[in-house]
Structure 1
């Protein structure tokens, strides 16, 4: 694959060479910046890369080695050629890089973002880039921050270029670009040796004229923020006639403080100490940049609160330093925050998050630590040992603070919160465990609307661990095709003959245990596995029914269980799945029944109507399952191409329990007859229920009175000797 080349490539390469940085040793400043970039964006890889005429070479790297790569395999060369930020959120699915060598499933790199390093005269010599081995999103604030960090790299490159220029000069001239100050050898104790010579750089840095410095001692540059411990350390080294380095705060003539980095070396004449030479450099701007980078690495850019990593560090430090309860944690989440973003826009959401951060800080003590740990998640570390009632009072105070509405872009917004509390950290060793338990308790609070504050208990951790184990087991079960169909017969009530089967999902675990939906349904929904499980079970059922039809020589209707979630049912892929089944197993479309819930047929939009019609056009049949459970909409029945209704087992059970049950079924039958719909009575468990629904005119019936659901291998015996036949034998 060829690679793009900037129009000013020759001049660009000259500018790169003038930096004198290629093939140089690693430098802490560059290494630290890549580490900070990796931390800020939570990326495993970050690098300062320079693009030569043949390769990409890494000056500094985090997660990669310091080597390089040919330009044809380099993404950085594309950012350099474009001269602007390049973001590839999913390399394997980016049409612009379809032919790139890295756009291969076998390659680990999936995400890339690179900001060009632009030197004087608009020469793009390389990039600051971050990468991940999975697709990622990269928001506007991330892009802005990466460009800012790239600007800092450019500053470092300029500083490196300047330093290299100085190194090419003689040693004396090299030092003369820094402030140079020479003193007598004695005395070392206060007030110190007198200054005998300074260069112009020293007078420029300090603001003092030479005659104001000469004859004075270096104490003239010191002030209230000059660290006495640093001075004592320097004095101790000088008494041993050893060179030493130090950094502290000095003061200019006008009183302005500045950070100075200096080195002091002894000067001997025939073995006798005669002078001290101090070379000094003002590093105020550099330290300020480092502080800004450190702030960016530890603080949330939107709210200015600490970020999760910084909170983790604070909590861990407190745990390490304490022999008892180091503090307490409140883990807070905004309820329905997405509604603000969806209705007012993301800028309003950002404004609300900033307002929330202010409210949280105002509700806690000055020594407490507040952090934004996720999109709309916050955490507060209450420092010091606190008893449980005190911690809960703080949590209640925060809840009360959110009783007042916020004004966001002229709109009044009420915010409800859920707080998980870890009141006692005595038994904790790791901060991540404290945060995990606070998060767990917070989700318990979200699941209990009547409680805004929930205290973590050991049982919650056990439940969370069990949920994780179940989630892992479910994924493995899908991979191993452990979900199998069970078949529940559907009977024609007029003559007791078999109409077909409702297919039900069961989990046949590797140890042979068979589990019903109540054991895994909620977890499967949470893990977004219902589609895979449903497809696995339905396809297996179709294979079984195909064999039955071949063996019996007559058609058997397959009625699919109503586990199609609304979102899944309306996906265009569902039609293709059903069409493939019909073709693969040579099933007659009118022998294939899809059962859907009442909620699914309530007010479908125009696009959903198209999907519904596409399914209907296949010739399959559709029934509403559990009709009458609370979402019934007779109007929706008019808009939906339905073939039948399945009465909820609650309605069938009412025949034995409530006098109005018979009237209710009669009403549904009248509506169904008017709409030309069949009616199936579910949950028939007593002879009275069977007699009633049959007399009322229900078309089909299903229930434990006939048989319980059976596995595939039990179907031949079931069909050979149907247990329900006895109910029609007299």
Structure 2
């Protein structure tokens, strides 16, 4: 059995990784759970051998030492382990030995399997798992198809913010376990089985979400009443240790009806209702209704387009450089997914990735990106001078980490592509790890044993703490762009980034600062100890050919990029330019200053029209000015009737349309930015003039930024007022920010 197959086979076992020269073993959360030492296990080999009963301990040590000296590649043995509760578990032990060129053993990757266990349940709650629930719901669905009078429902109940209740000694798991016990008790008391087919089942779906099956209902109203009652009961404080903890809980309900062909569809609709409950503020139970049907219809249309896009090559991978700040050389690239729809044009990842996650399409999409990244890093390392150490990082969705087949499929790709070395980095969001830490860490540890490196993406935006980093199998930490931008004002944010960078360095982790957009920010993150940087200052995401050209160019210079952020964000890509490029920018700036001094750039009604000006333009599709650019003269536009100049600061009353509901606010337009000042904090945004696009679609203003799509309509009761204000907003945006309307 090769190494990849072993990693896949042992994925659900208690994994460990033994650094022999250092005398340290990293134990996975599953291994710690196996011995009842969650959170208390150190990294000494005695954590393992000290738990072996004395009458077996020396025999096990001798057997392993003999295998290490015999120059064999692996070993297998059985022994007992003492559990924290005093019991003894019979385990099988497998180890894969790594040796240096001289044949000395330097590393052992292994796994323990509990072979005394006879019943498998969810280890966190003791409840059944998702697969059991689906089997039970399938039987209920068959019963309802045979007898239309048999009504059942699925309730998806979620603890929205278990992390808010965590203290220094409690974990989210303690709260989830307490919630599971209460659900069991209240359901047994309030929904008893009967001969009329009345019964229930409870399962834990992971990440603090519970599935509740209600059979033999009197109607849909009863299902909603049960959900409302459960929310009231779950709102009571939980006793965790010596503390009382309150948890925010929401629920979504779907009732059996004609048209359901499988239980997964019911779970999907219950999830849609849960999403609506959360979007309305949480702490409530929502029923899947026609509003949900309309949202589901739109999502199914996007899902259908996405499936077609997979087959017709509309999805593509672009690459954004990650720069070594000490040498200004490209250390790696982040692989980013883009979708060019034949009718809608570019579709934002913020719009289609959540749909892919909810519908399961993220699996094949993510694996496709992984395969492309493996091929690309091999090609670059082979062809580009000095690119032997370049890597490509790939984002891994939390939905992929929840999939049981992800490790096996990823290992198949690594084997098929003859992957070797450290050229692949998997980026996982902080919240993605924390929603099911044990499962995520187990999967990431398996992949690390296969040679892949791991990074936490957008660190600081989730709900972990710096101390938790010590227990995670990591290689890099990426600081969220909002933290990086926050250092410009100094103060607390500056110290936060300094602390993150310092702790990461002491843990041996590389630090990547995201969102570097100005030379000042670059110097700031360098001074704070960040080893790597990523952002528009270096380059926008570019196609693979342009990325190869960036690699061939060696270092990326940024001295010539001391430009306003809004102008810089409009560039289609950047890399260092030669002396001629600097001269061109200098001449253009000099010409602008001269014209400004002559009064030709003021735009006032008494000023003469501007003379033809030499401007720098990048050819369509070019990756950046340092790769393919040319100067061309543009003739002045034809004379037009004089209009009143638009105000420097303009505000429009608008309604922001949510997926469910809306909020009122104002769109504020200045010469540099477009902002939304809304009633809800999470809806507000501010974008530079070249950092967004504006379109009129179906009578609404559609604003697309790098990470999100917003839809607004003007305030106004009559169609005439609506149309007039819509045209007014579009006109001022096109005049003040013409690049946004192209």
Work out whether the TM-score is over 0.5.
no
Q: TM-score range by the shorter chain?
A: 0.3 to 0.5
TM-score (norm 2): 0.42
Structure number with greater CO (CA < 8 Å, separation at least 6) is 2
